[in-house]
Amino acid sequence: MLVAIITCIAFVASLVLCARELAFSRRLAVDGRVPLRRSSMAWTVVLLAIQLFVGAWGALGLVQDEPVAPLIMNIVLTGCIYLAVARPRLSDPFVGHFAPAGRRPHPMAASVIAMIVVGILATLALEIPSNHNLLWMYPLCALLEISLVTAVITGMYFIFQRRGAAPAIAAFVFFAIGIAEYFVILFKSQPIQPGDLTAIATAAAVGGGYVFSLTSYCLYAIAFLAAAFTICMYTALLRHARSQRTRKRLLLNLLIGVLCLGGVTAHITLIDYYNTLQIQVYTWRPLESYYRQGFIPSFISSAQTIQPRKPQDYTKSSAQKLIDEYAASYDEGEGATSERAAASAQFEDTKPTVIAIMNETFSDLSVYQNLHAGYEGPTYFNSISDAIQRGDLYVSAYGGGTCNTEFEFLTGNSMAYLGQGVYPYTIYNLTHAENLAQQFSDLGYTTTAMHPNHATNWNRENVYNDFGFDQFLSIEDFEGADTLRGMVTDDATYDKIIDLLKDNDDPQFIFDVTMQNHSGYDTGLVPSKLQTDYRIDGTYDPEVNEYLSLIKQSDKALQKFIGELRNLDRPVVVVFFGDHQPFFPSEFNDAWFTNEDDATHSERLYHTSYVIWANYDVAGRSQKSDTEDISTNYLGAELMNLIGAPVSDYQKAELALRENMPAINIIGYQDRNRTWYLSSASTSTDDDSLPKALAAANKAREDLAKMQYLKLFDHGDSVYTKTLQGAANETDPNLAPGTTKIK
């Protein structure tokens, strides 16, 4: 409430100053000069509205409660409000029409200087909410960012004929981006990436679970914004009098504006930030990259890498040859074993239903030294002893980005070759991508995808249709289902699966993307009887405990579901895995694991767990929960191989390639000795000084890059979605809103 009290006092002071100044200005309407009240009052109202908003937000308890930042912000805001309302009186002796000629600044020079200052203030408003130590930025990157921001603001100023509102709006946009960046980092521990712009609808759909509280640094950003507004407000006074506004001056302003904005456009499209400027976003530490290089340079560098690049020495024929060679290696090795033969014969005879459950944010945080709270992880999940296989699952998402884990599992492709901040579901054309849904459909299975939220999230309704799913059950199909924190429970999705099994005796492939455990975790909506009480180093953390209570409920729901399947009189296989960890373990990772290499340190954040279980004895398998750590792109092929299902040549190639590269994700890759290397490690296969295991892993990594490029992009069509191609997505007028076409 301290923030609300300080801001309320300042707001009253602002109103008093405004009233006094307005009364005073009326008495100064002499000498035929009328103060410019209308525009001045518009600026005043905007600044008052900002001050009022902060006060109201603080009253709701959504602003960090400390005195220094709100005091500084309100001093600046009140001062700017006074300068706004008093602008006619204060500016006239210096730049007004009655000012002596010698005292008037040169309009063009003053305008340029003012825009430079506004550019610096706007850059500070952009960076300071999330990047608190600006001295840590690389000087040249800071200069580049300031230059880009200043050029945009200056361009807007001159395009709109040196009116102050245009650069002020531009400054506000940069400030808004900075606040958005702060919230994204708060909720995901990741910066805004270019791919996030294609998923704004998804972010909005799930945003209700978050608390949007402001820190002191957000208040400092507001102060910088207010100062920028005030300078913009006064630069309008540098415009020539109406009688002096010639066509020549109008065209000159337009030319300067176009040159500024055109220069920015040319700069970011023609200059290779990654290779030429060496501005690179490291996948294992994207936040550090953004902090050191600035938001705009880092964002531009990421955006330029969305275009998939052909691997070195790639040709379509050579990539296909690699697939054929690796597939032949599988046929001669794993594919020729008696275990595989027995499983294949059994699969052909039984055609088991296959249920894939990608459980939202399911992970075992006991790997973080039991959270210094005696936490042992999800009890039932860890106790499953009769699974076909289980282990750690190395994913390419952390704190969010569910669809990327989903993409890797369903298609067998790795995000390692696509880059940080890329979401294939929303960016790339996946109509040609091999996937499990189409694979099972070709085997005569009925295929169903389900996700108890909006079908538009992550563009799923279109992707699932492209993948060949027969039906997609979204939030409309879960009307009246049980919820926890307003999210449909795991239990409810499992009940829906049981209903599907009862209604259809044919073999089915069901892909269930759950929603129950979605962040944020400070909702306080978990019933007290379900809450956990773990004390991290003796301190109760409500966010961590809300998350752990949700995982406990997921664990119980899985136990109940597996129990039902045990008694089901039909063969069923379940593959259950988490999509990513929540956003907060990075704090524990950095605090408790300080003496290890970067690859090992980073990979701890980018792994969950998986289990493949069947309610029958799969021929050739022990059913003793054999442990095998794996990455998500291999999981689908591994599932098919274990249960004896037919595998494609691409899946065979991946299974054979795993011998030398057992796991790969966006952070790094493993050699056959299970040693991790960052994705930035040298991929040379000719360096004789490299250990044999690493050289073999590098070869496998290069080969997989070529095979994946062939399967994903070398199909003759645009590599982008219909939306990014500029064409509308296809719809079926006979479908109800929110559902997808059924084959």
Rounded distance between C-alpha atoms, residue 402 and residue 358, angstroms: 9
What is the H or E stretch that residue 575 is in? strand 572-578
Work out the pLDDT band at 739, boundaries 50, 70, 90. Answer: very low
pLDDT at 208 > cutoff 80 = no
Rounded distance between C-alpha atoms, residue 557 and residue 359, angstroms: 11
Average pLDDT, the chain: 89
Q: pLDDT tens, 125-159?
A: 999 999 988 888 999 999 999 999 999 999 999 99
Cβ distance 86 to 200 under 8 Å?
no
Q: Which residues contact 549 (CB under 8 A, 6 or more apart)?
A: 526, 530, 531, 532
Greater confidence, 108 or 319? 319
Q: What is the pLDDT of residue 31?
A: 46
Q: pLDDT tens, 111-128?
A: 899 999 999 999 999 999
Q: What is the maximum span of the chain, computed from C-alpha positions, in angstroms?
A: 104
Work out the pLDDT band at 105, boundaries 50, 70, 90. Answer: low
CA distance readout (Å), 52 to 4, 6, 74, 247 = 9, 11, 11, 42
Q: What letter would DSSP give residue 399?
A: S
β-pairing, 389-394 with 626-627? Answer: parallel
β-pairing, 676-678 with 668-670? Answer: antiparallel
| Two tokens, residue 100 | 């002596």
Cβ distance 669 to 676 under 8 Å?
yes
pLDDT at 640 > cutoff 80 = yes
Rounded distance between C-alpha atoms, residue 203 and residue 288, angstroms: 23
Greater confidence, 186 or 282? 186
| Two tokens, residue 358 | 């990608």
- The pTM of the full predicted model, rounded to 2 decimals, is 0.78
What is the H or E stretch that residue 655 is in? helix 649-657
Name which of 487, 509, 488, 506 is nearest 497 in CA terms: 509
Burial class of residue 323, CB neighbours in 10 A (0-12, 13-18, 19+) = buried
The residue-averaged pLDDT of 406-411 equals 98
Q: What is the pLDDT of residue 37?
A: 61
Q: What is the pLDDT of residue 733?
A: 37
Q: What letter would DSSP give residue 664?
A: B
Task: Centre a 10 Å sphere on the Cβ of residue 262 and count the other Cβ atoms it contains.
Answer: 12
The residue-averaged pLDDT of 481-490 equals 96
The total number of residues written for the chain in this structure: 743
Q: What is the pLDDT of residue 430?
A: 93
Q: pLDDT tens, 497-538?
A: 999 999 999 999 999 999 999 988 999 999 999 999 999 999
Residue 631 main-chain phi, psi, to 5 deg: -105, 160
Q: What is the pLDDT of residue 730?
A: 40
Q: Which residue has the tokens 């007028």?
A: 733
Cβ distance 44 to 85 under 8 Å?
yes
pLDDT at 710 > cutoff 80 = yes
What is the H or E stretch that residue 493 is in? helix 490-503
Q: pLDDT tens, 425-462?
A: 988 999 999 999 999 999 999 999 999 999 988 889 99
pLDDT at 389 > cutoff 70 = yes
Enumerate the H helices of 391-473 as residue ranges: 402-411, 424-427, 436-442, 460-467
Amino acid (1-letter code) at residue 50: I
Percent of the residues in the chain that have a pLDDT greater than 70, as a whole number: 89
CA distance readout (Å), 9 to 2, 12, 51, 324 = 11, 5, 11, 75
Q: What is the pLDDT of residue 203?
A: 64
